Structure 1
Amino acid sequence: MNIAYWIVAGLLALFYFYAGTLKVIRSRDQLRPMMAWVDRIPLPALRALGTVETLGATGLILPPLTGIAPSLAPAAAIGFVLLQTGAIAVHLTGEDRRIALNVGLIATAAVTIWLATGL
């Protein structure tokens, strides 16, 4: 297996699994200090977003690890690029200009896509 893929995808999956789990189990009040935008979307949408993030993290790791449907790994990374593109839009429409993390996550997911196609 490609060691670079496992490093980059593992870090990306760890980030999204953590962030997604927080969105699923924590209240708005607990999330607000980290995520100022949580008041602008309905709670079920926030929970669904967390679920999508944890499933995407799983999609980066399990398919290449098991060899079952390994094409799901780049699909999950593409999903993260799209997710962060939407996140940038949410930040900018809410007058929150802190998008450096989002841009970094897009770049990391793009590298993951590139590395996953070489598996």
Structure 2
Amino acid sequence: MNIALWIVTGLLAVVALVSGNIKMFTPKPELAQAPGGQWTATAGAGVVKTLGALEVLAAAGLILPAVLDIGPTMVPVTAVCWSMLMVGAMIVHIRDGEYKVITANVVYLLMAAFVVWGRFVLEPFAG
């Protein structure tokens, strides 16, 4: 189970890192044209970049505490925060009628829920 948790956590961290970098470094008009990016047309540039930075921090929070053995409990806590971010993303996509991209949000939410359950209940890090 530990290996499965590491794989899912790693995949989630990659998603967060890539998504965050896209939001931080892609011009807002270009983001608004991308699938699932319609919401950026009405959001401030600061909001988009802040969400991107939070996603990059989530990527770090999913991996570094466990790898460095400094507060590994932060891994499932970060996964809880990622879950809340995905719920918010689903609400925004529903509001904007972007129903196709919600599937990805649901998958990421389920992955995060698995990490939360796995690291709090099944295979918590020894501390």
Q: Smaller-chain TM-score range?
A: over 0.9
Structure 2: runs of 5 or more not aligned: none
- The aligned residue for residue 111 of structure 2 is 108
- The aligned residue for residue 30 of structure 2 is 30
Cα offset for 1:114?
Answer: 1.6
Cα offset for 1:95?
Answer: 2.1
- The aligned residue for residue 7 of structure 1 is 7
Residue deviations 1:9-56, cap 9 Å, x none? 000000110000110111012222132221121110000000000001
Cα offset for 1:92?
Answer: 1.1
Q: Distance in 1 between matches of 2:5 and 2:68?
A: 15
- Large movers: runs of 4+ above 2 Å: none
Q: Which has the larger displacement, 32-41 or 13-22?
A: 32-41
Residue deviations 1:64-109, cap 9 Å, x none? 1111001110111000110010011111111222211111111011
Give the secondary structure class of the aligned counterpart of 1:97: coil
State TM-score, norm by structure 1: 0.94
- The aligned residue for residue 81 of structure 1 is 83
Match 2:65 to one of 53, 63, 66: 63
Alignment RMSD: 1.4
State TM-score, norm by structure 2: 0.88
Q: Distance in 2 between matches of 1:8 and 1:107?
A: 10
Give the secondary structure class of the aligned counterpart of 2:12: helix
